[in-house]
Amino acid sequence: MSRVPLRQALADVPPYVPGARVPVGSAAYKISSNENPFPPLPSVLVAISDAAADVNRYPDMYATELVGAIAESLGVASESVVTGCGSVAVLGHVLTAVCEPGDEVVLPWRSFEAYPIAITLAGGVGVPVPVGSDGRLDLEGMAAAVTSRTKAVLVCTPNNPTGPAVRADELATFLAAVPSDVLVVLDEAYVEFVRDAQAADGLAVFADHPNVVLLRTFSKAYGLAGLRVGYAVARPRLAAGIRVASTPFGVSHIGQLAALASLRASNELMVRVDQIVVDRTRMLAGLRKQGWSVPDSEANFVWLPLGDQASSFAERAGRAGVLVRPFAGDGVRVSVGEPEATDLLLEVTADWLAR
Protein backbone atom coordinates (compact mmCIF):
# COMPACT_ATOMS: atom_id res chain seq x y z
CA MET A 1 0.00 0.00 0.00
CA SER A 2 1.42 3.42 -0.86
CA ARG A 3 1.64 6.05 1.83
CA VAL A 4 1.01 9.78 1.88
CA PRO A 5 4.44 11.35 1.37
CA LEU A 6 5.54 14.04 3.79
CA ARG A 7 7.34 17.12 2.50
CA GLN A 8 11.02 16.31 1.97
CA ALA A 9 12.06 19.41 3.92
CA LEU A 10 10.56 18.03 7.15
CA ALA A 11 13.40 15.53 7.37
CA ASP A 12 15.80 18.49 7.73
CA VAL A 13 13.87 20.25 10.50
CA PRO A 14 15.71 19.95 13.82
CA PRO A 15 13.36 19.33 16.75
CA TYR A 16 12.54 22.26 19.06
CA VAL A 17 13.52 21.14 22.55
CA PRO A 18 11.41 22.91 25.18
CA GLY A 19 12.93 23.76 28.57
CA ALA A 20 12.35 21.10 31.23
CA ARG A 21 9.07 21.46 33.13
CA VAL A 22 8.67 21.16 36.88
CA PRO A 23 7.18 17.72 37.66
CA VAL A 24 3.84 17.97 39.51
CA GLY A 25 4.40 18.08 43.26
CA SER A 26 8.13 18.79 43.02
CA ALA A 27 9.73 21.88 44.53
CA ALA A 28 12.20 22.56 41.73
CA TYR A 29 12.84 26.00 40.26
CA LYS A 30 12.30 26.23 36.50
CA ILE A 31 14.97 28.43 35.00
CA SER A 32 15.07 26.56 31.71
CA SER A 33 12.86 28.66 29.39
CA ASN A 34 13.73 32.36 29.96
CA GLU A 35 10.34 32.93 31.53
CA ASN A 36 9.39 35.77 33.83
CA PRO A 37 9.20 34.46 37.41
CA PHE A 38 6.53 36.97 38.46
CA PRO A 39 2.85 35.98 38.27
CA PRO A 40 0.47 38.25 36.31
CA LEU A 41 -0.41 41.60 37.92
CA PRO A 42 -3.91 41.77 39.45
CA SER A 43 -4.97 44.24 36.72
CA VAL A 44 -3.85 41.78 34.04
CA LEU A 45 -5.67 38.91 35.73
CA VAL A 46 -8.88 40.97 35.73
CA ALA A 47 -8.46 41.63 31.98
CA ILE A 48 -7.91 37.90 31.41
CA SER A 49 -10.99 36.83 33.35
CA ASP A 50 -13.17 39.52 31.73
CA ALA A 51 -11.99 38.41 28.29
CA ALA A 52 -12.79 34.78 29.12
CA ALA A 53 -16.49 35.63 29.05
CA ASP A 54 -16.31 36.23 25.29
CA VAL A 55 -14.49 33.14 24.10
CA ASN A 56 -17.50 31.85 22.17
CA ARG A 57 -16.65 34.63 19.65
CA TYR A 58 -13.64 34.85 17.35
CA PRO A 59 -11.11 37.47 18.37
CA ASP A 60 -10.55 40.70 16.43
CA MET A 61 -8.54 39.27 13.53
CA TYR A 62 -6.24 42.30 13.30
CA ALA A 63 -5.99 42.91 17.08
CA THR A 64 -6.88 46.51 16.25
CA GLU A 65 -6.84 47.99 19.74
CA LEU A 66 -3.65 46.17 20.75
CA VAL A 67 -1.93 47.11 17.48
CA GLY A 68 -2.89 50.76 18.06
CA ALA A 69 -1.55 50.69 21.62
CA ILE A 70 1.73 49.02 20.56
CA ALA A 71 2.17 51.52 17.71
CA GLU A 72 1.55 54.45 20.05
CA SER A 73 3.96 53.13 22.66
CA LEU A 74 6.71 52.71 20.04
CA GLY A 75 5.97 55.88 18.05
CA VAL A 76 5.34 54.01 14.78
CA ALA A 77 2.32 53.82 12.45
CA SER A 78 -0.35 51.21 13.20
CA GLU A 79 0.09 49.90 9.65
CA SER A 80 3.63 48.88 10.68
CA VAL A 81 2.59 46.50 13.48
CA VAL A 82 1.61 42.86 12.84
CA THR A 83 0.72 40.62 15.77
CA GLY A 84 0.85 36.83 15.95
CA CYS A 85 0.82 33.77 18.17
CA GLY A 86 4.12 34.59 19.88
CA SER A 87 7.03 36.18 18.04
CA VAL A 88 8.14 32.69 17.05
CA ALA A 89 5.04 32.41 14.85
CA VAL A 90 5.53 35.95 13.58
CA LEU A 91 9.08 35.02 12.51
CA GLY A 92 7.63 32.14 10.49
CA HIS A 93 5.17 34.53 8.85
CA VAL A 94 7.93 37.04 8.06
CA LEU A 95 10.04 34.36 6.37
CA THR A 96 7.06 32.89 4.53
CA ALA A 97 6.31 36.37 3.22
CA VAL A 98 9.75 36.80 1.64
CA CYS A 99 11.32 33.39 0.90
CA GLU A 100 11.04 31.64 -2.43
CA PRO A 101 12.06 27.95 -2.34
CA GLY A 102 15.84 27.68 -1.93
CA ASP A 103 16.46 31.29 -0.88
CA GLU A 104 19.24 31.66 1.67
CA VAL A 105 18.74 33.07 5.13
CA VAL A 106 21.88 33.99 7.08
CA LEU A 107 21.67 33.34 10.81
CA PRO A 108 24.04 33.41 13.78
CA TRP A 109 24.73 30.07 15.41
CA ARG A 110 24.35 29.13 18.19
CA SER A 111 21.26 31.26 18.50
CA PHE A 112 17.52 30.81 19.04
CA GLU A 113 16.77 27.19 18.22
CA ALA A 114 13.55 28.05 16.36
CA TYR A 115 15.52 29.81 13.59
CA PRO A 116 16.61 26.72 11.59
CA ILE A 117 13.09 25.31 11.94
CA ALA A 118 11.38 28.49 10.72
CA ILE A 119 13.81 28.92 7.82
CA THR A 120 13.38 25.36 6.58
CA LEU A 121 9.59 25.40 6.91
CA ALA A 122 9.47 28.65 4.92
CA GLY A 123 11.33 26.84 2.10
CA GLY A 124 14.60 28.66 2.77
CA VAL A 125 18.11 27.37 3.32
CA GLY A 126 19.90 28.44 6.49
CA VAL A 127 23.46 29.78 6.27
CA PRO A 128 24.78 29.68 9.84
CA VAL A 129 27.64 31.96 10.90
CA PRO A 130 29.35 30.93 14.16
CA VAL A 131 28.94 33.16 17.21
CA GLY A 132 32.33 34.16 18.73
CA SER A 133 33.74 32.48 21.84
CA ASP A 134 32.72 35.66 23.73
CA GLY A 135 29.09 34.87 22.83
CA ARG A 136 28.86 37.87 20.48
CA LEU A 137 27.41 37.78 16.99
CA ASP A 138 30.03 37.97 14.22
CA LEU A 139 28.28 40.66 12.19
CA GLU A 140 31.26 41.05 9.88
CA GLY A 141 31.13 37.33 9.10
CA MET A 142 27.36 37.52 8.65
CA ALA A 143 27.67 40.42 6.19
CA ALA A 144 30.32 38.43 4.31
CA ALA A 145 27.93 35.45 4.12
CA VAL A 146 25.35 37.51 2.19
CA THR A 147 25.26 36.63 -1.50
CA SER A 148 22.89 37.21 -4.41
CA ARG A 149 20.93 34.19 -3.09
CA THR A 150 20.34 35.76 0.35
CA LYS A 151 16.77 36.83 1.07
CA ALA A 152 17.05 37.61 4.77
CA VAL A 153 19.45 37.86 7.72
CA LEU A 154 18.43 37.10 11.30
CA VAL A 155 20.07 39.22 14.00
CA CYS A 156 19.26 38.10 17.53
CA THR A 157 19.97 40.86 20.05
CA PRO A 158 20.51 40.04 22.87
CA ASN A 159 21.48 36.64 21.49
CA ASN A 160 19.65 33.64 22.93
CA PRO A 161 21.32 31.63 24.46
CA THR A 162 24.68 33.41 24.80
CA GLY A 163 23.49 36.82 26.12
CA PRO A 164 25.38 39.76 24.60
CA ALA A 165 23.55 42.49 22.67
CA VAL A 166 24.68 43.87 19.31
CA ARG A 167 26.32 47.29 19.58
CA ALA A 168 25.00 50.31 17.65
CA ASP A 169 28.26 50.88 15.79
CA GLU A 170 28.65 47.28 14.62
CA LEU A 171 25.02 47.14 13.49
CA ALA A 172 25.44 50.40 11.53
CA THR A 173 28.51 48.97 9.72
CA PHE A 174 26.63 45.73 9.07
CA LEU A 175 23.57 47.47 7.64
CA ALA A 176 25.73 49.61 5.39
CA ALA A 177 27.27 46.41 3.97
CA VAL A 178 24.00 44.52 3.40
CA PRO A 179 22.09 45.27 0.14
CA SER A 180 18.89 47.21 0.74
CA ASP A 181 16.77 44.46 -0.85
CA VAL A 182 17.85 41.91 1.77
CA LEU A 183 15.54 41.75 4.77
CA VAL A 184 17.24 42.20 8.14
CA VAL A 185 15.20 40.80 11.04
CA LEU A 186 16.23 42.23 14.40
CA ASP A 187 14.87 39.81 16.97
CA GLU A 188 14.50 41.89 20.13
CA ALA A 189 12.66 39.38 22.31
CA TYR A 190 14.71 40.51 25.35
CA VAL A 191 15.07 44.22 24.54
CA GLU A 192 13.54 45.41 27.84
CA PHE A 193 16.41 43.78 29.77
CA VAL A 194 19.18 45.61 27.88
CA ARG A 195 21.20 48.07 29.99
CA ASP A 196 24.34 48.46 27.83
CA ALA A 197 24.38 52.10 26.67
CA GLN A 198 26.26 51.05 23.52
CA ALA A 199 23.61 48.53 22.48
CA ALA A 200 21.84 49.11 19.16
CA ASP A 201 18.51 50.96 19.33
CA GLY A 202 16.24 48.84 17.14
CA LEU A 203 13.56 51.50 16.70
CA ALA A 204 16.11 54.09 15.54
CA VAL A 205 17.59 51.54 13.12
CA PHE A 206 14.09 50.68 11.88
CA ALA A 207 13.39 54.37 11.24
CA ASP A 208 16.49 54.67 9.05
CA HIS A 209 16.40 51.34 7.18
CA PRO A 210 13.32 50.24 5.18
CA ASN A 211 14.69 46.66 4.99
CA VAL A 212 14.74 46.23 8.79
CA VAL A 213 11.95 44.39 10.61
CA LEU A 214 11.79 44.22 14.41
CA LEU A 215 10.41 41.24 16.30
CA ARG A 216 9.17 41.74 19.85
CA THR A 217 7.15 39.76 22.36
CA PHE A 218 4.95 39.96 25.43
CA SER A 219 6.39 36.62 26.64
CA LYS A 220 9.46 37.82 28.50
CA ALA A 221 9.49 41.24 30.18
CA TYR A 222 5.66 41.41 30.10
CA GLY A 223 5.30 37.93 31.59
CA LEU A 224 2.67 36.56 29.18
CA ALA A 225 4.56 33.56 27.74
CA GLY A 226 1.54 31.32 28.26
CA LEU A 227 -0.78 33.56 26.22
CA ARG A 228 1.37 33.71 23.07
CA VAL A 229 1.45 37.33 21.88
CA GLY A 230 4.27 38.67 19.74
CA TYR A 231 4.57 41.17 16.92
CA ALA A 232 6.65 42.50 14.06
CA VAL A 233 7.33 46.15 13.27
CA ALA A 234 7.85 46.63 9.54
CA ARG A 235 7.33 49.19 6.79
CA PRO A 236 3.65 49.16 5.75
CA ARG A 237 4.30 47.28 2.46
CA LEU A 238 6.26 44.54 4.22
CA ALA A 239 3.79 44.50 7.11
CA ALA A 240 0.94 43.95 4.65
CA GLY A 241 2.85 40.98 3.19
CA ILE A 242 3.43 39.52 6.66
CA ARG A 243 -0.32 39.86 7.39
CA VAL A 244 -1.09 37.89 4.22
CA ALA A 245 1.22 35.09 5.43
CA SER A 246 -0.20 35.10 8.98
CA THR A 247 -2.53 32.55 10.52
CA PRO A 248 -6.00 34.16 10.66
CA PHE A 249 -7.10 35.01 14.22
CA GLY A 250 -3.59 34.19 15.46
CA VAL A 251 -3.89 36.04 18.77
CA SER A 252 -6.72 35.00 21.09
CA HIS A 253 -9.10 37.55 22.58
CA ILE A 254 -7.67 36.76 26.03
CA GLY A 255 -4.15 37.32 24.71
CA GLN A 256 -5.09 40.63 23.12
CA LEU A 257 -6.73 42.02 26.26
CA ALA A 258 -3.97 40.72 28.54
CA ALA A 259 -1.32 42.34 26.34
CA LEU A 260 -3.28 45.62 26.32
CA ALA A 261 -3.59 45.56 30.12
CA SER A 262 0.14 44.77 30.37
CA LEU A 263 1.04 47.72 28.17
CA ARG A 264 -1.09 49.94 30.41
CA ALA A 265 0.76 48.54 33.43
CA SER A 266 4.18 48.76 31.84
CA ASN A 267 5.59 51.04 34.56
CA GLU A 268 4.78 48.42 37.19
CA LEU A 269 6.11 45.63 34.99
CA MET A 270 9.37 47.45 34.25
CA VAL A 271 10.06 47.63 38.01
CA ARG A 272 10.01 43.82 37.93
CA VAL A 273 12.32 43.84 34.91
CA ASP A 274 14.72 46.04 36.91
CA GLN A 275 14.67 43.45 39.70
CA ILE A 276 15.50 40.69 37.23
CA VAL A 277 18.37 42.80 35.87
CA VAL A 278 19.70 43.27 39.42
CA ASP A 279 19.62 39.51 39.92
CA ARG A 280 21.28 38.96 36.54
CA THR A 281 24.16 41.17 37.72
CA ARG A 282 24.33 39.17 40.95
CA MET A 283 24.33 35.87 39.05
CA LEU A 284 27.08 37.00 36.65
CA ALA A 285 29.21 38.41 39.48
CA GLY A 286 28.69 35.29 41.60
CA LEU A 287 29.70 33.00 38.75
CA ARG A 288 32.77 35.04 37.87
CA LYS A 289 33.83 35.17 41.52
CA GLN A 290 33.66 31.38 41.58
CA GLY A 291 35.98 31.29 38.55
CA TRP A 292 33.49 30.74 35.71
CA SER A 293 34.20 32.41 32.41
CA VAL A 294 30.78 33.55 31.17
CA PRO A 295 29.80 36.04 28.45
CA ASP A 296 28.13 39.31 29.40
CA SER A 297 24.37 39.10 29.34
CA GLU A 298 21.89 41.82 28.41
CA ALA A 299 18.95 39.41 28.69
CA ASN A 300 17.20 37.41 31.41
CA PHE A 301 19.59 34.47 31.14
CA VAL A 302 23.25 33.59 31.42
CA TRP A 303 25.31 31.17 29.32
CA LEU A 304 27.64 28.60 30.85
CA PRO A 305 29.98 27.41 28.07
CA LEU A 306 30.33 23.88 29.43
CA GLY A 307 30.98 22.10 26.12
CA ASP A 308 30.79 18.31 26.50
CA GLN A 309 29.75 18.61 30.12
CA ALA A 310 26.56 20.55 29.40
CA SER A 311 24.19 17.62 29.82
CA SER A 312 25.80 16.22 32.97
CA PHE A 313 25.78 19.69 34.57
CA ALA A 314 22.07 20.05 33.74
CA GLU A 315 21.33 16.65 35.27
CA ARG A 316 23.17 17.54 38.42
CA ALA A 317 21.40 20.90 38.65
CA GLY A 318 18.05 19.14 38.20
CA ARG A 319 18.83 16.76 41.04
CA ALA A 320 19.64 19.79 43.21
CA GLY A 321 16.21 21.31 42.41
CA VAL A 322 17.03 23.76 39.66
CA LEU A 323 15.96 23.00 36.07
CA VAL A 324 18.26 24.55 33.47
CA ARG A 325 18.49 24.25 29.68
CA PRO A 326 21.40 22.21 28.30
CA PHE A 327 22.48 22.42 24.66
CA ALA A 328 24.32 19.10 24.38
CA GLY A 329 28.00 19.46 23.61
CA ASP A 330 27.84 23.24 23.75
CA GLY A 331 26.68 24.85 26.98
CA VAL A 332 23.91 25.46 29.47
CA ARG A 333 21.56 28.42 29.57
CA VAL A 334 20.24 29.47 32.96
CA SER A 335 17.40 31.95 33.19
CA VAL A 336 17.25 34.64 35.85
CA GLY A 337 14.16 33.68 37.82
CA GLU A 338 13.36 33.88 41.52
CA PRO A 339 16.30 35.15 43.67
CA GLU A 340 16.11 31.80 45.52
CA ALA A 341 16.69 30.02 42.19
CA THR A 342 19.82 32.14 41.64
CA ASP A 343 21.01 31.25 45.17
CA LEU A 344 20.53 27.57 44.47
CA LEU A 345 22.14 27.78 41.05
CA LEU A 346 25.20 29.46 42.54
CA GLU A 347 25.47 26.59 45.04
CA VAL A 348 25.31 24.10 42.18
CA THR A 349 27.95 25.94 40.13
CA ALA A 350 30.28 26.17 43.16
CA ASP A 351 29.84 22.43 43.87
CA TRP A 352 30.47 21.66 40.22
CA LEU A 353 33.84 23.41 40.26
CA ALA A 354 34.75 21.75 43.58
CA ARG A 355 33.82 18.21 42.46
Site for ligand PLP in 128-147 (CB under 6 A): none
- List, in sequence order, every residue forming a beta bridge with 150; answer none if it has no partner: 104
Closest approach of Cβ 227 to ligand PLP, in Å?
9
Our CB check for ligand PLP shows the closer of 80 and 160 to be 160
Cα 278 to the center of its chain, rounded Å: 20
- The DSSP call for residue 337 is -
Give yes or no for a contact between 82 and 127, defined as CB atoms under 8 angstroms apart: no
Q: Give the C-alpha separation, 123 to 235, whole Å.
A: 23
The string of DSSP codes covering 216-237 is EESSSTT--GGG--EEEE--HH
**Which residue number places its CB atom closest to ligand PLP?**
86
Our CB check for ligand PLP shows the closer of 18 and 102 to be 18
Give yes or no for a contact between 36 and 272, defined as CB atoms under 8 angstroms apart: yes
Report the number of secondary-structure helices (H) and strands (E) in the chain: 12, 12
Query: How many residues make contact with ligand PLP (CB under 6 A)?
Result: 13
Window contacting ligand PLP (CB under 6 A); options: 86-94, 130-138, 266-274, 320-328: 86-94
Q: Give the C-alpha separation, 117 to 124, whole Å.
A: 10
Chosen residue from 28, 93, 187, 334 binding ligand PLP by CB under 6 A = 187
Q: Does 164 bind ligand PLP (CB under 6 A)?
A: no
Chosen residue from 32, 34, 297, 300 binding ligand PLP by CB under 6 A = 34
Q: Does 160 bind ligand PLP (CB under 6 A)?
A: yes
Site for ligand PLP in 296-335 (CB under 6 A): none
Per residue in 199-213, is it b (16+ CB within 10 Å) or e — as a string?
A: bbebbebbeebebbb
Chosen residue from 156, 232, 234, 346 binding ligand PLP by CB under 6 A = 156
Our CB check for ligand PLP shows the closer of 112 and 206 to be 112
Taking alpha carbons only, the member of 264, 229, 220 closest to residue 72 is 264
Q: What's the one-letter identity of residue 93?
A: H
Stretch 88-127: interaction string toward ligand PLP, x if CB under 6 A: x-----------------------x---------------
Closest approach of Cβ 139 to ligand PLP, in Å?
16
Our CB check for ligand PLP shows the closer of 225 and 320 to be 225
Q: Does 83 bind ligand PLP (CB under 6 A)?
A: no
Our CB check for ligand PLP shows the closer of 87 and 256 to be 87
Strand runs labelled E in 196-328: 212-217, 230-233, 301-304, 322-323, 325-327
Q: Give the C-alpha separation, 202 to 63, whole Å.
A: 23
The H-or-E segment that residue 81 falls in is: strand 81-84
Q: Does 225 bind ligand PLP (CB under 6 A)?
A: yes
Chosen residue from 155, 189, 205, 332 binding ligand PLP by CB under 6 A = 189
Our CB check for ligand PLP shows the closer of 150 and 157 to be 157
Cα 47 to the center of its chain, rounded Å: 25
Residues in the site for ligand PLP, rule: CB under 6 A?
A: 34, 86-88, 112, 156, 160, 187, 189, 217, 219, 225, 230
